Amino acid sequence: MTEPKLTRAAIVDAAVAMADETGLDALSMRRIAERIGVGAMSLYRHVPNKDALLAAMTDEVARRYPYPEPEPDWTWRDRVRVAGEIDWQLYRQHPWVLFTFAVPRYNFGPHSLACLEWLVAGFAELTDDPRTATRMSLSLWSYLAGIAVQQVSVGFLAEHDGDEEEPSGLAALLDGEPRWPVPPALEPLVGSGRGDLLDPYRLLRAGLDALCDGFAAQAGAAAQNRK
């Protein structure tokens, strides 16, 4: 029986699909080969090892979620907003990328670098220092990943815990049913409702606004110091 034609792209696609379904822990070259219907050793003719595969998978996901060509009237704040929306969807569809993006040997393939350049070009409206613009871009990505971890963790734990979810200490406090003595600074929040405080997406939007305000203030202060 002849094995199906094998390509590097087919291997990466199969690996991405498997990681989406089962996470990175279950990912192995043998299981990927079984999914494609080939011998495990044949994969190594296209991908030398699992590290190379994870790097390729990470950049493939970045390729699938490119930042769009900016509209003529977009400001740097518009780019931040668009990047936030795109990355939010990326992490929801491919939660394992949160971990590979955090590992230097897996991140910043060509498509990730293209996304970074897109942000740096936008921040050039604020600063003429590429290092500062890059620092702002990386700070933005760090914040987006941190917020996404909340959403991803909730889904992951729900899959592994059949018990009824018990509200967190903060949720109980906001619901007006604190489980422990309330610290003084939090007393005004008792019974005030969860509102935007426990909604990751609403926190995402509020945090992006705060980051942008901070970037603008930082750039303004740097401009004043140069005078």
Domains of the chain: 1-48 (1.10.10.60), 68-165+196-226 (1.10.357.10)
- Quote the distance between the C-alpha of residue 121 and its chain's center: 20
- Quote the distance between the C-alpha of residue 140 and its chain's center: 10
With left for phi above 0 and alpha for psi between -120 and 50, is residue 68 left, alpha or beta?
A: beta
How far apart (Å, rounded) are the C-alpha atoms in residues 96 and 107?
A: 13
pLDDT of 1: 38
pLDDT of 88: 95
pLDDT of 186: 97
CB under 8 Å, gap of 24 or more: what pairs does 160-169 form?
Answer: 168/198
pLDDT of 2: 47
Token pair in block for residue 11: 């291997």
pLDDT of 213: 97
Query: Exposure pattern of 13-48 as b/e (b: 16+ CB <10 Å)?
Result: ebbbebbeeeebeebebeebbeebebeeeebeebbe
pLDDT of 19: 96
* Regions of the chain short of the pLDDT cut 70: 1-4, 154-165
Provide the 10 A C-beta neighbour count for residue 133: 24
pLDDT of 150: 79
How far apart (Å, rounded) are the C-alpha atoms in residues 45 and 6?
A: 10
Q: How far apart are the first and last CA of the chain?
A: 75
pLDDT of 157: 57
Q: Are 93 and 62 in contact (CB under 8 A)?
A: no
Per-residue model confidence as pLDDT tens digits over 85-114: 999 999 999 999 999 998 988 989 999 999
Spatial neighbors of 17 by CB under 8 A, at least 6 apart, are: 35
Spatial neighbors of 122 by CB under 8 A, at least 6 apart, are: 70, 74, 75, 76, 79, 80
